[in-house]
Amino acid sequence: MSTVHGNLSGLKPDQLHRLGKTYRRRVSAHEVLSAELAAYLTGLSHEIKRQIGVLISRGGVVEDVFVGDERGVVIPDLSRYRLGRTALRGVRMVHTHLRNEALNQDDLTDLALLRFDLIAALGVDAGGRPGTMYLAHVLPPNPDNRVYEVWAPTSFHALDLHLSTFLHSLDEEFSRLRSNHHVNQDADRAILISVSEKHRVVQEESVTELRELAASDGIVVLDTVIQRLQTVHPKYLLGQGKLKDVVISALHRGADFLIFDQNLTPGQTKAISEITEMKVIDRTQLILDIFSRRAHSREGKLQVELAQLRYTLPRLADRSTALSRLTGGIGGRGPGETKLELDRRRIRDRIALLERQQKTLVKQRHQQRALRTRHNYPVVALVGYTNAGKSTLLNALTHNHCETSNQVFTTLDTASRRLRLLTGKEVVLTDTVGFIQKLPKGLMGAFQTTLDELNDADLLLHVCDLSSPTLDDQLRVVSSVLSELSLTHIPRLLVLNKSDRVDSTQRDALAYRLSGIAISALNTASLPPLLEAIDNHLQTCAVDALALQNT
């Protein structure tokens, strides 16, 4: 016999047996509840003075039976009935109300969050017989933004509803509205959320960048939620009530993800995931996913995997308790390691292996740089905010064809090409991964072999997007990262790219204020002043180095 869940303490063996027999009942696919099952539930509920709930599949099978107290029920785990891409869960929830009362707000919140086919409260009259029937169901997206429809109360025996026909029409309406949206039907859909004590303007700028990250990862953004709070909730960020409202709205709009602009702690991720089955990720996870898509070389893939594992390891402790089940050791006595301990050990072992491989790559990089030094090739490294046009500039200067796109983090693998200056002098021009705000230090550490290229650079070309509305913030982020990497001693030349996107007055004013060289990597005619400036800087560096040797 299948398990009865919930508040079973104090029930007699005969009552428990009869509760278990509920699983044997069958209901027609065309009715919410059969008269026989309704009478069975209300009679038993009246006897034990507790609410009883059942989950019934569309085929009329009783899938779950659970017992609450006189005021409510706790719905059991629904992982067996995952939503996927469907709008409804495929089961209806029917439970008794001892005082014949209507659906309350908790019932309606459960309906909206858990996406039941419908929710029904069956009143119990004074004699323990079926009384009034209260129904509600979720609505497809509509102009009034109504999430659910509550039906007028009716006597159970007077209920006139052909359930299978009704659910079929509801499914079709959800499908029709989803297909009408002018987006890729196979693309993931997300709601972006920012919760911070910072000014709303600052949050909006950060969310705009988060939207670009999502687009770069092939995610369709359905909506954004920005909350400025005096104190961020330590567990849910924006408070449990508001979070439920956001989740209900996200489900109503067909979202697959909640993406937080703030980096979530393991505890926060767990707490939010307990409220919704939707995927919950933060900015760092989104960036890691982009990295995994964009890494092509063995070195790039190694660095991305290392970053992902370092991010995952501290979060294992706060994952579902299902991970803590015992796993017997092969050929050993006793229960062996817990699944959680096994996962941790495997990840630590994998991290250790990747770190050894990374050290090997570092040695190879040192050998390559030593070879360049023997040939007396100065190294010019491109640095800057992501999507500033570094790879496009490298292609324009070296007549190469490195991958470029108008998306963030197109470049993860280091690319080095030979560049001939106007004087005929040859240098090595190196492209590196772009920087971005809120990037954890641990993530940058995983890209050690890539960023080590910067240590031996004779000149850094700081490429920025002159047309960006957050130009000053991006400049600060890059300067901060270079400082963290202890690269402030290397001479730097500011390159104001995408100057074709602003008018000449603004271009000249910014070039003067920032002491930079305005160019457009798409217009080769604008590049000679940059080549001349690179040559002049390298000559100055050489003179300074010689003077330092003679002191």
Tell me how far apart the alpha carbons of residues 226 and 448 are, in angstroms, rounded to a whole number: 34
| Average pLDDT per consecutive 10 residues, the chain (551 residues; last block may be shorter) | 88 95 93 96 96 95 95 87 74 95 93 93 94 94 88 94 93 78 69 92 90 90 91 88 89 88 89 87 88 76 84 69 35 49 85 88 72 72 90 89 57 74 88 79 63 82 93 92 88 95 94 95 93 90 57 58
Domains and CATH numbers, the chain: 4-180 (no CATH), 188-290 (3.40.50.11060), 295-358 (no CATH), 376-550 (3.40.50.300)
> How far, in Å, CA of 386 to CA of 370, rounded?
29
The single residue listed with the structure tokens 């590196």 is 432
What is the spatial distance between Cα 100 and Cα 92, in angstroms, rounded to a whole number? 19
Q: In what order do the strands lie in the sheet with 415-420?
A: 415-420, 426-431, 379-384, 459-465, 492-497, 517-518
What's the pTM value of the predicted model, to 2 decimals?
A: 0.76
Q: For residue 298, what pLDDT is reported?
A: 79
Asked if 419 and 398 touch (Cβ cutoff 8 Å), the reply is yes
Asked whether 237 and 265 are in contact (CB, 8 A), the reply is no
Name the strands in the sheet holding 257-260, side by side, starting at the edge strand that comes first in the sequence.
219-228, 188-196, 257-260, 279-282
Task: Return d(Cα 171, Cα 178) in angstroms, integer.
Answer: 11
Tokens of 462: 């700081």
pLDDT at 321: 34
